[in-house]
Structure 1
Amino acid sequence: MLGGGDHRRMSIDIKPPAQLSINSRALPISSPSPLRNVSENSHYMVSREEMQNGAQSQRAESIANHSKKLQDDLHELGQQIKHHEENVKYLKTEKNKLEDSIPDLQVSLGEYNKASFSTTKSEDPAHVNSEEETIQHIIKHEKSAAALLCIAKSQAEALASNHPLTKDVVGIVATLGKLDDDNLSRLLSEYLGLETMLAMVCKTYEGVKALEAYNKNGSINRTFGLHAFAASTGRPLDDRFLVICLENIRPYAGKFIADDPQRRLDLPKPRLLNGETPPGFLGFAVNMITIDNTNLYCVSKDGHNLRETLFYNLLSNLHVYVSREDMLKAMSCIKNGAVSLDGGIIRRPGMFSLGHHGGDIDIKFPNGSERLNLPEKYFEIENRVKETKWKKDRVFEDMQREQALLDRARFNYETKKQEFVQFFAQCSSQAHQYSTGRVSTPR
């Protein structure tokens, strides 16, 4: 009871628990249970299989993409080959047509017997300076390249159209134009200067390269071109010489005078402040030069003639006046230069040639007064022959370019085809290895 009675002690008899002994060998807690081990191994195998399948899928996609690219490249190259083959075939046909038409035109040209037509001569034979005389004067300049070229062109082997030294040379400046007025011929020769009058004119830069070559150290190769010919004649070529390349000249870009057989340039006449043409103005020097019909059509590679290339480059808008007084009064409208028949020369605005030229000017343009009175039809046919030959040459050049492009396309096609074959063989080998379980996982 509670309170003041006997206190009896209550005790509960509980046996103490037995002490547990821990044995690490008996309880290997660090190792998973067999069930857990199986579960994790199964998960690992599934993940590895998924990774392999994913890699194989990516590899298959990569192979498909690369295969498609190779096939697209082959298709594109095949289209290029077809395009160039068609172009070559077309150009061959055009070239054959032009070649076939030339003999017919030459037959028509041969119907005109030049010997049966009269000639118109200058009234004063003492002032006639023929082209042959001009060439003889050029040859007297023994150390000039122009003299060597004249000698070379007179030799039989150099007359061949394919001779490397002369085939691309049109001629010497002094022989490529004619003037009816001997005094004006002398003036223009003085204005241009001896070096320019003796300059050689080539159609293309290939012709320029055929005249001179250089050693590795930059010195002139004396065994090549005009220097080799000079050595063979015993006339060493030691001085500089001028060569004009028509291919690199910017031609006149304006119009021509309508119905003019000489194809003179339609240049605007000079005007004073009052709007009138200066008194004593005779014309433009570039239009006063007479050019042989053979040089009026398709001389340059681009089809331009000598007036719109060579002579426009040399003379530009050079004015010709009757007197110095007329020339000086017109100074306000002289933009490039002027000459007067009494000897005045303005080389360009602000640069005057004063005094008098000492000595005779032997290298000048031949006189153009002596001409055959051939019918206009003759010159039309002659120009058609020249134009047809020019077109044939241009078509042949285009055909050569197309053939080179065709050869290149075929080479690229075969290269790409070999690449595709090797790629296909490699893919087939890897597929066989995979089917036998020996393929390695791509990295």
Structure 2
Amino acid sequence: MAAPSLPSQIVQFNSKAMEDKLKRLALKVSHHEDNIRFLKSQLNAVEEACIDLGIKLGNYHSSVAAVVNNDTSAQEAEQRTIRSILDQDNTAAGIICQLKVRHHELASKMPLMKDILGFVATLGKVDNDNLSRLLTEYLGMDNMLALVCKTYDGVKGLEKYDKDGIIDKTSGVHGLGRSVGKFLDGRFTVFCLENLRPFSGDVNIDDPQRRLILHRPRLPGGQPPPGFLDFAVNMIHLDRAHLSCLTASGHGLRETLFYTLFSHLQVYKTRADIQSALPLIKDGAVSLDGGILRPNGSFCLGDSQNLEVKFPVNIEVSSLPENIAEMEEQVKLKNWEKERVLEDMKREEDLLKQVKELYMKQKQELMDYLTHPAVTQTWRDSPTTHSPATPGSNPFGAKPSHKRW
């Protein structure tokens, strides 16, 4: 087989050199793209931290205002909720609450009462009265008065039936009502913690409240939508006793009960904020000015309802954070870090643009050379441009001829 001619070898050598240069440029493009992806993840983390700090500071200031304006305490707020439940005479919640509050000694001896953890309205608190009214209206009275049992055995003990499926009014919660002169009227809702499907994601173990790690909504540019405050499930405050309440599988009230009730419900400042964030809302949203968007996409319009039973407001002065100055300093540091990351991203994007332009230019040169090697070679061999392999450069070690004329 004949060896390739010298011009053919020159074409191969030049094309190989150009391909190698193209590969090096491609690696540089990939390197800058990786840097930008890393910086974007850093930016998202910094923005998440800024949002969390902003929420904590906002809750602090609203709580301070509530204490100043109302001169009340968390214990008093909780007692008001209990009194409101007691006023619901002919409900399962009213009957159970009356037994626990007014007949505590008798109730403590009843096996049925031991499995009842409480009512939805008494198992969580919120940071201000406005949020309390809003979330209460979203859930409705049936859910707010719902009994919460630890196990399914507790649920079964609430109601008994005869062989024809008729409710036995002398047993279960119906019998308890008769014992205190109350008669249960209508249906009632019961949540069984061990039967609820828990949140499948991660919990923030560094957070004393063990809030859920949820992906915040993001605009195409990576910014959170205007007015977004938090997810409702993470705005519920749990007392220490309720934080330690776990199912047999190790899940707490936030991952089971409150995630079932609220799921990914988003909380915004205004109705206008909800409107602008509609493409980012999947499980409904509420706004502090009274807007409610249900998970099925329906809007609740008209005047807000002032329901009798509401979440207690956690506004005890002793529970407020003491490191506000430190939190405000952290906000400044995070904003500075955000600016630095944005500067790094801008620099990487400029470098990426330059390398991409060089890459496209080199790619076009290679295509032109492979298509018209003779023409390209003539251009590359001009006095101002020296090819890595020209007829006079002797790249293959060919011995020159010494013929005498």
- Aligned residue identity for 2:310: K
Describe the superposition over 1:254-273 as per-residue Cα deviations: whole angstroms up to 9, x where unpaired: 11225110000110110123
For the pair 1:236 / 2:183, whether they are aligned, the reply is yes
Larger mean CA deviation between 134-143 and 249-258 belongs to 249-258
Q: 2:115 — aligned with what?
A: 168
User: Taking structure 1 as reference, are residues 298 and 133 closer, same or farther at Cα in structure 2, changes over 3 Å only?
Assistant: closer
> Which residue of the partner structure matches residue 368 of structure 1?
314
- Is structure 2 residue 157 aligned with structure 1 residue 157? no
> Contact 2:67 / 2:317 at 8 angstroms: preserved in 1?
no
CA–CA distance in structure 2, aligned partners of residues 173 and 145 of structure 1: 13
Structure 2 residue 67 is matched with structure 1 residue 122: yes
Report the TM-score when normalising by structure 1.
Answer: 0.55
Alignment correspondent of 2:254: 307
Q: Does the 8 Å CA contact 2:160/2:172 hold for their aligned counterparts?
A: yes
Structure 1 segment 278-289 matched on structure 2, within 5 A:
278-289=225-236
For residues 392-425 of structure 1, what are the alpha-carbon distances to aligned partners after superposition, in whole Å with 9 as ceiling and x for unaligned?
Answer: xxxxxxxxxxxxxxxxxxxxxxxxxxxxxxxxxx
The CA distance in 2 between the partners of 1:270 and 1:215, in whole Å, is 51
Cα displacement (A) at 1:126? 6.0
Partner Cα distance (1:374, 1:316) in 2: 27
Comparing 302-311 and 185-194, the one that deviates more: 302-311
For residue 293 of structure 2, give the secondary structure of its aligned residue in structure 1.
Answer: strand
> Which runs of 5 or more residues in structure 1 are unaligned?
1-119, 376-443
For the Cα contact (< 8 Å) 1:297–1:304, is it kept in 2?
Answer: no
1:325-358 C-alpha deviation (Å, 9 max, x unpaired):
0111000010100000000000115211111134
Shift of 1:324: 0.4
Change (3 A) 1:198 1:132: same
CA distance in 1, matches of 2:148, 2:263: 17
Normalising by structure 2, we get a TM-score of 0.60
Report if the CA contact (8 A) 1:334-1:349 is conserved: no
Pairwise CA RMSD: 2.2
CA distance in 1, matches of 2:72, 2:219: 35
Instruction: Please give the alpha-carbon distance, in whole angstroms, between the structure 1 residues aligned to 2:319 and 2:142.
Output: 34
1:275 partner letter: G
**Which aligned pairs between 1:332-411 and structure 2 lie closer than 5 A?**
332-358=279-305, 360-370=306-316, 372=318
Distance in structure 2 (CA, Å) of the matches to 1:171 and 1:158: 17
Matched-pair contact (CA < 8 Å) for 1:272–1:332: no
Output the CA distance in 1 between the equivalents of 2:318 and 2:106. Answer: 28
Alignment of 1:244-255 (within 5 A): 244-255=191-202
Q: Counterparts of 1:124-143 in structure 2 under 5 Å? A: 124-125=69-70, 130-143=77-90
The alpha-carbon distance between structure 1 residues 158 and 209, as it changes in their structure 2 partners (threshold 3 A), is: farther
Per the TM alignment, residue 371 of structure 1 is displaced from its structure 2 partner at its CA by: 6.0
Q: Is the Cα–Cα contact under 8 Å of residues 203 and 245 in structure 1 kept in the other structure?
A: yes
Say if 1:333 and 1:127 are closer, same or farther in 2 by CA, change over 3 A: farther
CA distance in 2, matches of 1:341, 1:126: 22
Say whether the 8 Å CA contact 1:212–1:227 is kept in structure 2.
Answer: yes
- Look up the match of 1:185: 132
Q: Secondary structure at the match of 1:304?
A: coil
Note if contact 1:177-1:366 (Cα within 8 Å) is conserved in structure 2.
yes
Distance in 2, Cα, partners of 1:373 & 1:322? 24
- How far is 1:372 from its partner? 4.7
Q: Given that residues 284 and 297 in structure 2 are in contact (C-alpha distance below 8 angstroms), is that contact kept between their aligned partners in structure 1?
A: no
2:243/2:252 contact within 8 Å kept? yes
Q: Distance in 2 between matches of 1:157 and 1:217?
A: 35
C-alpha spacing 1:138/1:315, structure 2 compared with 1 (3 Å): same
Q: 1:170-196: CA deviations, max 9, x gaps?
A: 101000000111101100000000000
* Contact 2:72–2:316 under 8 Å retained in 1: no
Q: Take 2:203 and 2:165, find their aligned partners in 1: how far apart are those partners?
A: 44
Distance 1:127 1:342, change over 3 A: farther
Identity of aligned residues (%): 52
Aligned length: 255
Mapped to 1, the partners of 2:317 and 2:175 lie a distance apart of 38
Instruction: State the AA in 1 paired with 2:122.
Output: T
Check whether the contact 1:345–1:352 (CA below 8 A) recurs between aligned residues.
Answer: yes
- Counterpart CA distance in 1 for 2:177 and 2:319 is 40
Amino acid at match of 1:354: L
* Alignment check: 8 A CA contact 2:216 2:224 kept: yes
Shift of 1:122: 2.0
Larger radius of gyration: 1
Residue 299 of structure 1 aligns to which amino acid in structure 2?
A: L
Shift of 1:127: 7.1
Q: SS of the residue aligned with 1:206?
A: helix
Offset from partner CA, 1:230-270 (integer Å, 9 cap, x none):
11222111210000101110111211225110000110110
Partners of 2:250 and 2:147 in 1: CA distance = 19
Which secondary structure does the structure 1 equivalent of 2:248 belong to?
A: coil
Alignment deviations for residues 182-225 of structure 1 (CA, whole Å, 9 cap, x no partner): 10110000000000000000010011111111111100111111
Gaps of 5+ in 2: 1-63, 322-405
Amino acid at match of 2:105: E
CA–CA distance in structure 2, aligned partners of residues 211 and 351 of structure 1: 34
